[in-house]
Amino acid sequence: MGTSLTVGVFVFEDAEELDVVGPWEVFGFWAAHVATAPVRLVTIGRGEESVRCAKGLRLGVDHDFATAPALDVLIHPGGDGTRVLGKDTAHLDWLRQLHDQGVLLASVCTGSLTLAAAGLLKGRPATTHRDFAATLTGIDDTVDVRARDRYVDDGDIVTSAGVSAGIDMAFHLVERLGDAQAAALVRQGMQYERPVS
């Protein structure tokens, strides 16, 4: 990685906590201890000063859509709040706009349902929480749903399976955006062992 990188993590009411903080920890450790160029992490919300996640964790919001810095990567968590987001025209328009701008979109768990609702997974391979594979197909039956995969990298869109799989996806992104050594050092520093599937 030769230039700076800005990673936004979208936070919203009823987001699944680990979907947010798992990737944040991976990118944050990379930024603080391993990256050879600046990595900036920010939270982005729909305008609230803070949001309450699915199990009660309250998170601060750094920026709304209008004030967010230019992003290189957006992490879109899942959780019950995606049911509302999948019908929110402004949110879906924002995702399409980011995609058009070349931002790498990465979803965790049911975050992929929101990407599908925005029409961004049409004809593409993707994954989601295994219990929501049929829901993803119901939103867009052209999606090649790979429910057994921990994550699916399809270039400008990366999706991961349920909850803890977002951590594995984040390590993959560190390797992709940095290199294998960076990902290995972050894994070692976090004392994170690869899950056995």
Residues 6+ apart with CB under 8 A from 188: none
Q: What residues are labeled active site?
A: 109
Output the CA angle 163-71-167, nearest 5 degrees.
Answer: 20
Is residue 39 within 8 A of residue 106, CB to CB? The reply is no
The encoded tokens of residue 8 equal 């936004």
Coil, strand or helix at 44: strand
Distance CA 185, CA 27 (A): 12
Would you mind telling me the total number of residues written for the chain in this entry?
Answer: 197
| Cα distances (angstroms) measured from residue 52 to each of 13, 25, 29, 42 | 5, 19, 24, 17
Rounded Cα distance between 46 and 20, Å, is 15
Count how many Cα atoms sit within 13 Å of the Cα of residue 144 in the half-sphere of its side chain.
8
